[in-house]
Structure 1
């Protein structure tokens, strides 16, 4: 465990540069994926949300397994203190400027933001896994993979591609990305060149979009849409490896580049919440 902590801290200030870059990229992709209302005539180009969500959950899993240990009440309280002050401030701001009405129940469950209740539940599961199954993450990953595959057989609509968007069960897919982040955090990684990692990212992304495109063009292929989950997991992993290479991480040697990247990466939750109010029909007038 000491080696893991040393690796996590060697960047300086306990911040892993590759994770910072992934959070930055996730914020950009999630924001872009919600801009369809601004460009309705080019909506088919607005994509990348699933990759951005996968990056978010990967980063959460990565950092959770490298953070300090504590008893559950104190550990979970830190998670609450990180998320809910932002929610409360946004509730006040959006009520004043956008006329949103928040009930106490909505502040706790945030129905407009599926990511928040999802991650709060995952925190509990991850604490249990980290406490009792730290050395058996591969088996845990296999177990949840089987559960997700079996659940998908019963819950997915195989007449269209809905795997990452239209059903609540989609949230289960992203738990695998948290587990992938955890496994990546505690395993000894091989040094790879940015070129090799970049090529692997490109292949994974192309395979993912080839899958998703085929499902939309031929609904009969939707029964095989779970295959896209493999390519999406591969995309997230190789994006991390790419950002973890020395050449790519050297971007932080330039303050004029590293400062905005770091700033945006620390505001991922805030960016996630604000964009729902910004990308609405009333802003379309500026884009036509």
Structure 2
């Protein structure tokens, strides 16, 4: 829950360049947020109930595509965005959706037939990622965390990491120690990315940055499982807010591009907070709309209260 909450904040912040263009260098964290999102997906997939592929995959479709359909309808009606039937399936505006739908298929096979060999699968995936970087990256200028095809391959490692974490028991860790490892890993990650951006020659080695990033995501997971963080979740207001945002991760990602604007830049940095609030409200409304769509076209009896639940 906390990890998905953090993912929503990081991903949204990384797209906020228009809100404070004079500080463009501070707009970062997208790779961290995406890593957290895919980690959580892998984690929950290996904790969910087992079923045949058709029913299992159908649940994934029912979770994602009502939101996509309703957002296509609302954005086309209100904002004038153009969608066609192909866009609903491939969602070119949102690269991660077709990516994760393919990951789901692969993960079903792994969970069904290779459950005892996750470490080996992870190792093979690492080799595939390293090998594919040589033909998917332009080593003279490509940054692998930008909008490049390579993104659709290496985030599989984060899903695998989440799957392995889901089935392994860990000793309780102190928040200070886990948090220190997170900070140290992120410092190494940003140093490496800084080197790759400053000196194009080193771009050919940037795949190495996945190691500290994976380490940071792992220790974020361990940090969120500490008693200190669990105590925060026990607070009624704080816990409910974190749960509310974590349940809207997909919707937040969908609506944010329509809400970013530079019209409030005169009140920086308060414009950042205001935009976050507007995005959260819009995401909740989209969630309600997707629930309504699911109930209208589903077989279950109509549940009015269910429309407003996150």
TM-score by length of 1: 0.91
> Aligned partners of 1:42, 1:32: CA distance in 2, in Å?
13
Confirm whether residue 124 of structure 1 aligns to residue 102 of structure 2: no
Q: Which runs of 4+ in 1 moved over 2 A?
A: none
> Aligned partners of 2:70, 2:147: CA distance in 1, in Å?
29
- Residue 161 of structure 1 deviates from its aligned partner by 4.2
> Aligned partners of 1:50, 1:175: CA distance in 2, in Å?
13
Report the aligned-residue RMSD. Answer: 0.9
Write the deviation string for residues 149-174 of structure 1: whole angstroms up to 9, x where unpaired.
Answer: 01112221111242111311221110
Alignment match of 1:286 (pick from 239, 246, 264): 264
Confirm whether residue 35 of structure 1 aligns to residue 6 of structure 2: no
> Aligned partners of 2:32, 2:240: CA distance in 1, in Å?
24
Q: How many residues align?
A: 266
Query: What residue in structure 1 maps to residue 134 of structure 2?
Result: 153
Q: Where do 5+ consecutive residues of structure 1 fail to align? A: 1-19
Alignment match of 2:31 (pick from 41, 44, 50): 50
> Aligned partners of 2:8, 2:160: CA distance in 1, in Å?
20
Write the deviation string for residues 152-206 of structure 1: whole angstroms up to 9, x where unpaired.
Answer: 1222111124211131122111000000000011012122111110100010010
Indicate if the aligned counterparts of 1:194 and 1:242 stay in contact, CA closer than 8 A: yes
Larger CA deviation: 44-53 vs 212-221: 212-221
Confirm whether residue 85 of structure 1 aligns to residue 66 of structure 2: yes
SS at match of 1:37: helix
Relative contact order (alpha carbons < 8 A, sep ≥ 6): 1 or 2 greater? 1
Alignment match of 2:120 (pick from 139, 143, 147): 139
> Aligned partners of 1:162, 1:223: CA distance in 2, in Å?
10
Write the deviation string for residues 68-95 of structure 1: whole angstroms up to 9, x where unpaired.
Answer: 0000100000000000000111111111
Query: What residue in structure 2 maps to residue 24 of structure 1?
Result: 5
> Aligned partners of 1:128, 1:194: CA distance in 2, in Å?
35
Confirm whether residue 204 of structure 1 aligns to residue 204 of structure 2: no
Larger CA deviation: 211-220 vs 63-72: 211-220
TM-score by length of 2: 0.84
SS at match of 2:232: helix
> Aligned partners of 1:214, 1:239: CA distance in 2, in Å?
24
> Aligned partners of 1:250, 1:174: CA distance in 2, in Å?
31
Larger CA deviation: 36-45 vs 203-212: 36-45
Q: Where do 5+ consecutive residues of structure 2 fail to align? A: 267-310
> Aligned partners of 1:108, 1:223: CA distance in 2, in Å?
33
Indicate if the aligned counterparts of 2:185 and 2:212 stay in contact, CA closer than 8 A: yes
- Residue 246 of structure 1 deviates from its aligned partner by 1.2
Matched ranges for 1:174-185 at <5 A = 174-185=155-166
SS at match of 1:250: helix
Indicate if the aligned counterparts of 1:161 and 1:225 stay in contact, CA closer than 8 A: no
